[in-house]
Structure 1
Amino acid sequence: MSEPIGWVLAVPLSAKQMLELPPKKVVSKIEEAIKKAAALGADIIGLGALTSPVTMGGQKLLKRTNLSITNGNALTAVMTCEGIVRLIEQCPTPAPAIAVIGASGSVGSCLVRMIASNRLTEHLILVARNMNRLNKLSESIRQDNRDIDVRTSYDMNVVREADIVVLLTSSSDNLLQPEHLKEGALVLDDTQPRNTDSTLLSRRPDITIVDGAMVDINGIVINGDINVPSGLAYACLAETMLLALEGHPAHFSIGNPTLEQANYIGTLAQKYRRYGFSLAPFHSFGKKLPHDNPTYEVKG
């Protein structure tokens, strides 16, 4: 049986255009890319970067029945959670507080549940613009995990209380500023386009910024530049690869991924480990950081 091949197609819109143009026009451009993929012979479509949030995690594309769609956010949550575990090992604070910015979003809501179910912290700070969704999420976390202190806010200034900061926002701007971070904070930037700027490191040399949800795919050949170091891929792309390898016959992660989906895609990553599909060594703005690169397992 031959192994699958794939294509990476670009939607000809900038991040700013995707977020500010009329939604129908943006979705129309994404639909054109999907039609191109179908013409090439694709069976499954993975949404990358802002193509996921502007289509409500793929929900605006469900009228298509000839292709399977995933937003890539289940594996993104899994790899982000593994990254947090690695950062906890490197954090000098014995019981680090974790802040998740964009906590009510597709990746964020799944990630928060994974953090709680894996008991990664006793102090969880959730930040998002939609306080209604955020409060519903926090209440469900409190009900199932009464030993975890959960705080919610739309104000970025509360992030100063966190030792580890996870950035999961959909924005074309650099939201995280020097004044938002405590001394020695560890930042996991899981955004595409990224919401941190390299000048933040020069203004705050005490902090560390890690490129989030980067996956080792050293067993897969990519012909072309996907704007990441060789042998690596974004988790959303890696999720699409895993589902293609498995021959997954239907839509997968649409809207907000569930813990069950995170568990399933994590199991597939183990199944196809011969191709890589593990959390990559930490990088910061594309440059490899020194670390011991241990392997961690987290559960949905």
Structure 2
Amino acid sequence: MPPMLFLSVLLLAVAFLVGSAPVGHTLLARVGVDVRTNNPYNLGVENVLRRVGPGLAVTTALLDAAKGFVAVLMAASLQLPEVAALGALAAYLGHLNPPPRLYGPLPPRGRGNLVLLGVLAGLAVTGAVPLWAAALPVVVYAGISGYWGFVTLGTLGGLAAFAVAAALLPTPVPAKLAALGLLLAATWRFKENLGRILDGTEPRLGDAVPMAGKRADEVVTAFMIHPMTVENFWQTRRFSWMRPLVERGLISEASVRDLARSLRPMKVGELRGIRTVDGKSIRCYLLSSPLLPDVFRDDPELATRRAIEGARLAHELGAEVFGLGAFWSVVGNKGMDVQAAVPQITITNGGAYTSGTIKAAVPGILEHFAATGRDLKDATAAVVGANGVVAFGIARTIAPQVSRLIMVGRDLERLDRSATTLRRAVKDTEIVTTTSYDGLKDASLIFTATSDPNPVIFPQHVQPGAWIFDEGRPADVDDSVRSVPGVRIIPGGVVRPPGGMTSNIDLQFGEGAVPACLAETLIIAATGEHGRKSLGPQTLTENINFFVDEAHKLGFEVLD
């Protein structure tokens, strides 16, 4: 290797290492500041200023700018403009991607604007670019950030202007490519910020970002959701542009599914306006790794990994409690593995309050059913998904009130054990176990709570006039069942939080309503009773009663 080329490569490697030095992180850590919980979006200077004050903010800013400046000065020592420009790119890449082998796992870096300012100053001082070319991106950044309030757009706009200026200057091709590389690196780094801008959830410059423990009257939570169908995938604006391409056949649905599997958890929305009766405000971030229901069944390890990543993101966003919704609630031993991997935040699968809403709703359903003139003592009821904790709880509640109970599940041996327990407690009720849905035809009351990603109850399973309480998410009852004469379908586990809740995401539970598992997340944060979280297959009766009582006190309303 020629000596000059060897020196150039060596200087670029050194520039990368200088840029990667975690100077700001180290300083904040030494004064006891946890940047993960003190910065919900990135360790940007505006967030540091807001969280720790001007002294530390200015110091960390100068340190970041200095390492970019020094890296370029070192690279420019060979008097080659292209090496200086490539040194600027190396320093910026080092800042965004610090080597874990050198520093261990570090929290996510910010946008690196101060590093960029340092490298631009270095390029101007060394004469690698004219002063106006180095100043142009700063002016563009200030204009865009000041007008629209999005620092991410300001950074990308400034780097785009710099790339155009470099392309027009009589500089070597490697220098032009380095300027373009800065823009591409920043765009990739900010892809999540850009997605939040599209979805309307990215804070603007100067916005007050809520943080756990910062306000006595406000708590912050996060909740993990996922699309139930490909149609739900288009809800967020960051993905909606793909819909016409899929409809025209330019992108296959299989490609969309593959994309969904590859995406790490992201913030896609917020619930705002929730305020309890005692005046406490609750903000809930909606996170999603857009896995479709079949993935939870076919690749549980991937689902668990994504849930753990979601919990870490929730912690970085400043949430106190992280709820697992829909099929997320069953991954990782129903949240136990997720909690073990991320002990810094309280995690719940929502099972206790879900059971509580059923406990509150079932007596009313039975009462209304009897009010139609039908005798419960002569009725046959069925419980679908009776192998599960929630469904078995329903079976235990209704068994003493009907003449015959059909328990439907996948594991007949386990069903028989459960049925034996019920028979000992309820001697006058005939209890039948089966793995077939055909027996539902005999039931005038059906309660269903499965974790199946597809509907399991169809018209051939239902008698005319039957009442069906559907706790499944997604729904266990196919829409075609509505065509059966006299059938009434009652959705279960739906709660209206207190206050005027708004959301940019349709949770598909009706306006102003959320699933009970999400409500449990909110209640834990509002009460501070983190020990009441629901994890694993067991749900304590005392916790079920706690959530029912506290929900009523706080103003949560169970819908039926």
TM range (shorter): 0.7 to 0.9
Q: Are the structure 2 counterparts of residues 49 and 159 from structure 1 closer, same or farther at C-alpha, using a change threshold of 3 Å?
A: same
Kindly provide the amino acid, as one letter, of the partner of residue 3 in structure 1: E
Partner of 1:108 in structure 2? 391
Q: Deviations over 1:207-249 (max 9, x none)?
A: 1112211112242523322222222111111111111111023
Kindly provide the amino acid, as one letter, of the partner of residue 557 in structure 2: S
Q: Deviations over 1:26-65 (max 9, x none)?
A: 1111111111111111121211101112333223324132
Matched, 1:2 2:223: no
Q: Decide whether the 8 Å contact of 2:524 with 2:532 is kept in 1.
A: no
> Unaligned 5+ residue runs, structure 2?
1-215, 220-282
Range moving further from structure 2, 6-15 or 106-115: 106-115
Partner of 1:291 in structure 2? none
Q: Decide whether the 8 Å contact of 1:27 with 1:55 is kept in 2.
A: yes
CA distance in 1, matches of 2:529, 2:302: 30
SS at match of 1:192: coil
1:227 to 483, 508, 522: 508
Q: Are the structure 2 counterparts of residues 55 and 222 from structure 1 closer, same or farther at C-alpha, using a change threshold of 3 Å?
A: farther
Q: Deviations over 1:139-187 (max 9, x none)?
A: 2222233333322111111212221111211112221011111221011
Q: Decide whether the 8 Å contact of 1:188 with 1:210 is kept in 2.
A: yes
CA distance in 2, matches of 1:169, 1:224: 28
Cα drift, residue 120 of structure 1? 4.2
Q: How does 1:167-186 map to 2 (within 5 A)?
A: 167-186=448-467
Matched, 1:40 2:320: no
Q: Decide whether the 8 Å contact of 1:45 with 1:240 is kept in 2.
A: yes
CA distance in 1, matches of 2:412, 2:385: 11
Q: How does 1:46-195 map to 2 (within 5 A)?
A: 46-63=323-340, 64-91=342-369, 92=372, 93-95=374-376, 96-116=379-399, 119-195=400-476
CA distance in 1, matches of 2:289, 2:552: 31
Matched, 1:266 2:548: yes
Q: Are the structure 2 counterparts of residues 45 and 220 from structure 1 closer, same or farther at C-alpha, using a change threshold of 3 Å?
A: farther
CA distance in 2, matches of 1:49, 1:250: 22
CA distance in 1, matches of 2:493, 2:365: 13
1:23 to 300, 307, 311: 300
Cα drift, residue 83 of structure 1? 2.9
CA distance in 2, matches of 1:158, 1:81: 25
SS at match of 2:357: helix
SS at match of 2:503: coil
SS at match of 1:75: helix
Cα drift, residue 132 of structure 1? 2.6
Q: Find the structure with the greater CA-based Rg.
A: 2
CA distance in 1, matches of 2:424, 2:416: 12
Kindly provide the amino acid, as one letter, of the partner of residue 360 in structure 2: E
SS at match of 1:26: helix
RMSD of the alignment, in Å?
2.0
Q: Decide whether the 8 Å contact of 1:97 with 1:161 is kept in 2.
A: yes
Cα drift, residue 251 of structure 1? 5.8
Q: Decide whether the 8 Å contact of 1:242 with 1:268 is kept in 2.
A: yes
Q: Are the structure 2 counterparts of residues 244 and 11 from structure 1 closer, same or farther at C-alpha, using a change threshold of 3 Å?
A: same
Kindly provide the amino acid, as one letter, of the partner of residue 278 in structure 1: E
Partner of 2:520 in structure 1? 239
Cα drift, residue 10 of structure 1? 1.8
Q: Are the structure 2 counterparts of residues 148 and 57 from structure 1 closer, same or farther at C-alpha, using a change threshold of 3 Å?
A: farther
CA distance in 1, matches of 2:547, 2:384: 24
Partner of 1:290 in structure 2? none
Partner of 1:211 in structure 2? 491
Kindly provide the amino acid, as one letter, of the partner of residue 238 in structure 1: A
Cα drift, residue 68 of structure 1? 1.6
Kindly provide the amino acid, as one letter, of the partner of residue 288 in structure 2: A
Kindly provide the amino acid, as one letter, of the partner of residue 265 in structure 1: F
> Unaligned 5+ residue runs, structure 1?
283-300
CA distance in 2, matches of 1:179, 1:197: 11
SS at match of 2:530: coil
Q: Decide whether the 8 Å contact of 1:105 with 1:256 is kept in 2.
A: no
| TM-score normalised according to structure 2 size | 0.46
CA distance in 2, matches of 1:206, 1:58: 39
Q: Are the structure 2 counterparts of residues 184 and 140 from structure 1 closer, same or farther at C-alpha, using a change threshold of 3 Å?
A: same
SS at match of 1:194: coil
Q: Are the structure 2 counterparts of residues 71 and 112 from structure 1 closer, same or farther at C-alpha, using a change threshold of 3 Å?
A: farther
SS at match of 1:54: helix
Identity %: 27
Q: Decide whether the 8 Å contact of 2:387 with 2:415 is kept in 1.
A: yes
Partner of 2:225 in structure 1? none
Q: Decide whether the 8 Å contact of 1:110 with 1:258 is kept in 2.
A: no
CA distance in 2, matches of 1:236, 1:120: 28
Partner of 2:557 in structure 1? 278
SS at match of 2:499: coil
| TM-score normalised according to structure 1 size | 0.84
Q: Decide whether the 8 Å contact of 2:458 with 2:480 is kept in 1.
A: no
Partner of 2:289 in structure 1? 11
- Larger RCO, structures 1/2 (Cα 8 Å, 6+ apart): 1
Kindly provide the amino acid, as one letter, of the partner of residue 107 in structure 1: V
2:531 to 227, 234, 250: 250
Q: Decide whether the 8 Å contact of 1:101 with 1:166 is kept in 2.
A: yes
